A and B are shown apart, each in its own frame.
Chain A
Amino acid sequence: MNNPAENPQKEPLLRIAKRAELPAGKIVILRLLAVVLSLVAGGIFIACMGQNPLTIYGTILSGACRSAMAFQGTVKLMIPLLITSLGVTLAFKMKFWNIGAEGQIIFGATCATFFALFCSGMNHVLLIIVMFLAGFIGGGLWGLIPAVFKVRYNTNETLFTLMLNYIALHIVSYLRDGPWMDPGSQGFPKIARFDKNASLDKFLGIQFGWLIGLLLVVIVFIYLKYTKQGYEISVVGESQDTARYAGMNVKKIILRTMFLSGGICGMAGMIQATGSDITLTTSVAGGVGFTAIIIAWLGQLNPFAILLVSFLFSVLEKGSSVVQSNYGLSTDCADVLQGIILFFILGCEFFVRYRFLFRTKVHSEKKIKAEGE
């Protein structure tokens, strides 16, 4: 076994070394660079489909903002994305992998729909408030279920929340096919359009959900940064042991946070159903719950950054529907581009803490060190 001749005499071609963490300014530049690179990669993908990437990117931008109506459409897409991202942010801050936003949106919307369908005669303001509460509580309860099992049996929340998405979806399809089927649809399975009294009012031409979204940005920011409960979430997310040692009731914190997280997502569902769709369909969430996870992550769980990212993502989605009608590329293009952007951002985080050393670079090592000191 002891055979030095077998031993490689050369340095490895590539190795990884830790570096002093980058200053904030450089991190921002690094991330911007990653976004640019991802757009280049996305461009290559578009070029492979036989289109000019610059034209497509141009169409996406102009398509989302070309007219007041297009811009309103973009904002309308942004509302559920923004609110849901804020919802999952609470859970992610606690390192609770809530990927059940889809289900929480659906269940929140379903609870609100009950009042929209069967109590539509109520006073308008009161009905809207009741529906908001129903959406919040419904989504919250749907988020609470995995949390209960997590604290009780340490059940894997990632998979559990995911299964609850599908369960919620099939609850809606059951209601659509049976008890809540629109009697006026002649057997076609759909839920009736809501009464005007049960739909959200408009403000500046768009349903007022966007105001709630903006309000939530500020509330979630303050909640996480300046309140005792927000502080507790950060500590639990960092280390449950530390939280326990500090005398925190970790279980209570997890349950409470997941209720809030699911509640906000449920509210997004209620707003989507009563403000945009004016009915309940199985596609009320339509992948928003998953996209929101990407947005929350890209926004580094900072509510203001999330506002920016969710706006850009809605531009991407709105714009890609224009691309679909003009160039025949399906709107799934948006998902592909979103995926590519996040791949690059995920990859670039590596360079915040580590760097690669190539064999030839080893000699310049001393220089780097001298600079560091």
Chain B
Amino acid sequence: MDMVIKFLVAAVGAGTPLLFGTVGEILTEKTGHLNLGVEGMMSIGACIGFMVGYYTDNFVFALFFAALSGALSALIYAFLTVTLMANQNVTGLTLTIFGIGFANFIGIFVLNKSPEGTLKLPEKITAAMRGIHIPGLSDLPIVGELLFSYSPFVYIGILIAGFCGYYLNRTKMGLGLKAVGENPGAADAAGIKVTAVKYRNIILGGAICGIGGVYCSMIINGGVWISDNVGGLGWIAVALVIFANWQPSAAILGSFVFGALRVLKYYIPQSIFPFPIAFYDMLPFLMTALVLVISSMRKSSRINLPAALGLNYFREER
């Protein structure tokens, strides 16, 4: 029982960066733009957020600059694909390559300057990221650990997902956003500022991805900078969007399921399931591939895939 709770708690932690990436990409894709640069935006957010945290020792600053740098990298993508109508696939891929290269480059650059030869976050900021403790609530047996013991990131992530779900499904702005992704021509004719909606949501999506990135650099490796710290989570997030059927609320569940897959290898008894470690490392990717296949086999009419996904819009196109 204790093991199960530990496993669930670990799953939530491992799923949190995925949650940010997925929700960010949902907002982006709802504008009709498939941004394959999630991995890159997360990397940039990871790098800038970490460095700001390292130098200022301030959690809020780190978070803010991670979001800002994610937003700025999304702005590159938005400018190229929305205004200049460049190919979305290639632009996103380039952003990923650029982002990973940029993050690693800056990481090593700062590392070379540090006297200790490693980059470790200072104590104050590390304390700010530790699991919360609400007297009374956190001390409850089982429930306390399952619900009130996480790093603030987890709660921020769930809040953002909840907010995005409300925004998409319950507000007029959300309706406008969905219309842009479904049929930008119709949205335009109905008086929605298509370009503004696209920029706004792509940038917002990038900011959310940036926060997911800084989780990777600040939490996963115990506050020590290493290269390639996002390590493919951005790609899983892109796939999770399909798994979540473009619904932020479903993204919460999806992320935690995939988080569970990522930590499974530490909790499953080797004596019962004697699979090699490499298999567990492969599992999230294998599952994602399966999800892709299964969701494409499903011929349901209620799939929320935006109809204009991947197509650039030019008002005067004839």
Contact = CB atoms under 8 A, between A and B. Distances in A.
A99 interface: yes
Contacts of A163: 235, 239, 285-286, 288-289, 292
A327 B102 CA distance: 17
Contact of A346 (B34, B94, B100, B227): B94
A26 interface: no
Nearest to A282: B278
A170 interface: yes
Interface string A280-306: 000000010011011001000000000
Contacts of B99: 339
Nearest to B297: A153
B296 A339 contact: no
Interface in B84-99: 84-87, 89-91, 93-99
Given A159-B292, A173-B278, A336 B112 contact: no
B109 interface: yes
Contacts of A18: 314, 316
A156 B292 CA distance: 7
B222 interface: no
Given A159-B288, A163-B286, A350-B86, A174 B101 contact: no
B84 A340 contact: no
A155 B293 contact: yes
A95 B282 CA distance: 28
Contacts of B282: 166-167, 170-171, 174
Contact of A170 (B36, B90, B281): B281
Contacts of B100: 332, 335
B94 A339 contact: yes
Nearest to B288: A163
A319 to B, nearest CB: 15
**B contacts with A: majority SS:** helix
A149 interface: yes
A67 to B, nearest CB: 26
Given A158-B36, A163-B289, A167-B285, A335 B97 contact: yes
Of A163, A346, A347, chain B has the most CB atoms within 10 Å of the CB of A163
B163 interface: no
Nearest to B195: A16
Given A154-B296, A170-B278, A159 B239 contact: yes
A370 interface: no
A183 interface: no
Residue with the greatest number of chain B CB neighbours at <10 A, chosen from A162, A343, A354: A162
Contact of A340 (B98, B104, B285, B297): B98
B266 interface: no
A318 B231 CA distance: 25
B279 interface: yes
B289 A160 contact: yes
B296 A349 contact: no
Interface in B272-318: 276-279, 281-282, 285-286, 288-289, 292-293, 296-297, 314, 316
A182 interface: no
A130 to B, nearest CB: 27
Contacts of B80: 343, 346-347
Interface in B62-102: 76, 79-80, 83-87, 89-91, 93-102
Contacts, number: 149
Interface string A123-156: 0000000000000000000000000010001111
Given A99-B93, A328-B112, A343-B94, A156 B296 contact: yes
B293 to A, nearest CB: 5
B238 interface: yes
Interface in A162-182: 162-164, 166-167, 170-171, 173-174, 177-178
B152 interface: no
Contact of B89 (A17, A97, A173, A336): A97
Contact residues on B (Cβ < 8 Å of other chain), bracket: 35 or more
B108 interface: yes
A18 B316 CA distance: 8
A309 interface: no
Given A49-B109, A170-B278, A329-B105, A162 B235 contact: yes
Contact of B84 (A167, A335, A336, A347): A347
A333 interface: yes
B85 A350 contact: yes
B48 interface: no
Contacts of B104: 330, 332, 335
Given A155-B296, A177-B276, A293-B93, A164 B98 contact: no
Contacts of A293: 90, 93
A84 interface: no
Contacts of A274: none
Interface string B248-290: 0000000000000000000000000000111101100110110
Contacts of B232: 166
A166 B289 CA distance: 11
A296 to B, nearest CB: 9
B161 interface: no
A342 interface: yes
A334 interface: yes
B98 A155 contact: no
Interface in A327-363: 328-330, 332-336, 338-340, 342-343, 346-347, 349-350, 354
Interface of A: 16-18, 49, 97, 99, 149, 153-156, 158-160, 162-164, 166-167, 170-171, 173-174, 177-178, 287, 290-291, 293-294, 297, 328-330, 332-336, 338-340, 342-343, 346-347, 349-350, 354
23 contacts: A99-B36, A153-B297, A155-B293, A158-B34, A163-B286, A163-B289, A167-B285, A167-B286, A167-B289, A170-B278, A171-B282, A174-B276, A174-B278, A332-B105, A335-B102, A336-B98, A339-B99, A339-B101, A342-B94, A343-B76, A343-B91, A343-B98, A350-B86
